[in-house]
A and B are shown apart, each in its own frame.
Chain A
Amino acid sequence: DIVMTQTPLSLSVTPGQPASISCKSSQSLLYSDGRTYLHWYLQKPGQSPQLLIYEVSSRFSGVPDRFSGSGSGTDFTLKISRVEAEDVGIYYCMQGLAVRTFGQGTKVEIK
Chain B
Amino acid sequence: EVQLVESGGDLVQPGGSLKLSCEASGFIFSSFWMAWVRQAPGRGLECVALISSDGSDKYYVDSMKGRFTISRDNAKNSLYLQMNSLKAEDTAVYYCARDLRWGMFDFWGQGTPVTVSS
Contact = CB atoms under 8 A, between A and B. Distances in A.
Contacts, number: 68
Interface stretch (A12-20, A33-41, A78-86): A33-41
Contact of A94 (B50, B59, B103): B103
Interface string B25-43: 0000000000101000000
Main SS of chain B's interface residues? strand
A49 B46 CA distance: 12
A101 B45 CA distance: 8
Nearest to A9: B44
Interface residues of B, number: 23
B113 interface: no
B88 interface: no
Main SS of chain A's interface residues? loop
Give the size category of A's interface with B: 20 to 34
B45 A41 contact: yes
Interface of B: 35, 37, 44-47, 50, 59-62, 95, 99, 101-106, 108-111
List the 4 shortest-distance A-B pairs measured between CB atoms, nearest first.
A96-B103, A100-B47, A96-B102, A48-B108
Interface of A: 1, 31, 35, 37, 39, 41, 43, 48-51, 54-55, 60, 90, 92, 94-105
